[in-house]
Amino acid sequence: MPTLRDIRKRLKAIQNTKKITAAMKMVAAAKLRKVQDRMLNFRPYAIRMESVLSDLAKVAEREIHPLFVLRPRKTIEVIVMTSDRGLCGGFNTNILKFAANYMNTTKKEGIEVSLSIIGRKSRDYFRRRNVPMRKSWIGLSGRITYTNAQEIANDLIENYTNETIDEVVLIYSEFKSLLVQKPTMKKLLPIGLLEIEESQKEGSLLSGDFLYEPSMETIFEKLLPKNIEIQIYRALLETSASEEAARMTAMENATKNCGELITKVTLLANKVRQASITKELMDIVGGVEALK
């Protein structure tokens, strides 16, 4: 049975852990509030941009822009977004399992998979499994800027136009609520294959003839690369908000568990202390009886 000193040391350690998890929860809540506002403000713009270009792609000729061109699916680029840090429950695990299942299914279809990752956790996961990675971006968690999205988009556009890859798929975590973060797959390239939910199609443009000003080529030249940047930036914000929400929930649960442990260990310490006092009293009584 542990001594009273050992129990008190354990109790002190749990109390310190509780202070840390409570502080981490408060920090995650503050970060979540900021990134959630950015994400919610940007989401309608990204959805509308995707909807408009999807409608235009239905009536445009595929040869008008390299990002419209459809090619046989020989190589698919999969971009996996995770966080750089842990302590956020099953957030990263859910994304990585989702990505691994998709990659395995794609390979069974005879399609080559090219992997790029965003986040240290995904890099470490695939590195341990000896999965080759074409490109990696580390250190974006908590410091997301539009420049990051532009850098990633430029790399993808260059490889797609050079026919190094034939399709681009983005796997990230979509923020649903504080308790729900859903791993999601989005097809970025070629544009026009983007799948839009029915709720997002409401109010979309009808297929038909459009008037382009200044010209169709000029508009597509400007908007198509911009759309890739916007969709990547939205995914970065969604993943960041999901990460902070998952971390806040995980730290809240950890704080509650520490409180329950403190109660149990305190009761154990009291029992050990009472047993020690009782033993000392028995020794004193025994000594008095022996002296008689």
Confidence of residue 271 (pLDDT cuts 50, 70, 90): confident
Of the residues 56, 76, 88, 254, only one is catalytic, namely: 88
| pLDDT tens string 205-254 | 444 566 777 777 777 888 888 999 999 999 999 999 999 999 999 999 99
CA distance 34 to 178: 14
Cβ contact 104:46 at 8 Å: no
Active site residue 258: no
pLDDT value, residue 261: 92
Confidence of residue 285 (pLDDT cuts 50, 70, 90): confident
Cβ contact 247:26 at 8 Å: no
CA distance 4 to 280: 14
Domains and CATH numbers, the chain: 34-249 (3.40.1380.10)
| pLDDT tens string 9-27 | 999 999 999 999 999 999 9
